């Protein structure tokens, strides 16, 4: 609902009740990015999590948040090291399924290493194609495959998979999980150069409840190709 102060109050309460449980830390860290675009405060929360949880091997989404923060800060070697230390094949929840290979590809892309970027997108695509054969109606898998195809320059395939993820689980069917599918489709549109379609999607997402905000859009490296677009510039002038 973008009622960030109230959200913060409940995350702090959750942490005080169960300081060794990782979920509230990763959510609170993300909250600082959504609310203020404040990377420093987000990082402090993750440091607090590391102190209280002990081993982060059982807290993959703390690792994911930390990898994401390092990507935002341009600390790519740190992001790669953290990703390598996490033993899961994918970061999986009811909202997302993100193969590690996809994250490696994105990091190498930001580093300008085209060869390793493409190799990891190919690996991510192979993983997701297999998962879809096993569970063809899981919308998360189609969204992730769409991102991998977009990274490989397979525009039509990418858009098809992204749209299929949205069709399987639209926002009007599931307001929480469906939001992530629409958000992934926006990312795919950016990656394949369909900037107006991406901005249409982003504007729609900002008009409904969900984990997306103007401060977080300003930070997101995936949105960098949009920064010179007049519509996106105007969008970022909002609060």
Q: Write the pLDDT tens digit of every residue in 23-61.
A: 999 999 999 999 999 999 999 999 999 899 876 667 899
Shared domain check, 125 and 160 = yes
Shared domain check, 126 and 19 = no
Q: Give the structural domain span for 170.
A: 93-239
Count of structural domains within the chain:
2
Shared domain check, 107 and 221 = yes
State the first-to-last Cα distance of the chain, in angstroms, to the nearest integer: 15
Shared domain check, 99 and 22 = no
What integer pLDDT is reported at residue 238 of this predicted model?
Answer: 72
Q: What is the pTM of this model?
A: 0.95
Distance CA 220, CA 141 (A): 22
Shared domain check, 32 and 137 = no
pLDDT tens digits for 203-235?
Answer: 999 999 999 999 999 999 999 999 999 999 999
Shared domain check, 168 and 69 = no
Question: Are the CB atoms for 158 and 150 separated by under 8 Å?
Answer: yes
Distance CA 83, CA 111 (A): 15
Residue 226 belongs to a domain with what CATH number? 1.25.40.10
Domain boundary among the residues 37, 66, 88 is at 88
Shared domain check, 161 and 75 = no
């Amino acid at each position: 609902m973008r009622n960030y102060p109230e959200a913060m109050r409940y995350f702090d309460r959750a942490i005080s009740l169960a300081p060794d449980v990782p979920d509230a830390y990763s959510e609170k860290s993300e909250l600082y990015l959504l609310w203020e675009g404040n990377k420093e405060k987000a990082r402090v929360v993750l440091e607090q999590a590391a102190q209280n949880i002990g081993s982060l091997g059982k807290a993959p989404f703390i690792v994911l948040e930390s990898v994401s923060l390092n990507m935002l800060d341009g600390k790519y070697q740190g992001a790669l090291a953290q990703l390598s230390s996490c033993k899961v094949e994918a970061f999986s929840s009811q909202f997302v399924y993100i193969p590690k290979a996809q994250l490696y590809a994105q990091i190498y892309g930001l580093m300008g290493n085209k060869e390793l970027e493409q190799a990891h997108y190919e690996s991510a695509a192979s993983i997701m194609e297999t998962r879809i054969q096993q569970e063809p109606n899981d919308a998360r898998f189609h969204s992730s495959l769409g991102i991998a195809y977009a990274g490989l320059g397979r525009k039509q395939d990418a858009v098809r998979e992204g749209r299929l993820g949205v069709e399987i689980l639209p926002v009007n069917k599931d307001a929480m999980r469906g939001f992530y599918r629409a958000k992934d489709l926006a990312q795919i549109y950016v990656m394949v150069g369909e900037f107006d379609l991406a901005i249409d999607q982003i504007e729609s997402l900002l008009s409904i409840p969900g984990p997306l905000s103007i401060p977080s859009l300003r930070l997101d490296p995936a949105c960098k190709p949009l920064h010179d677009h007049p519509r996106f510039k105007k969008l970022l002038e909002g609060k």
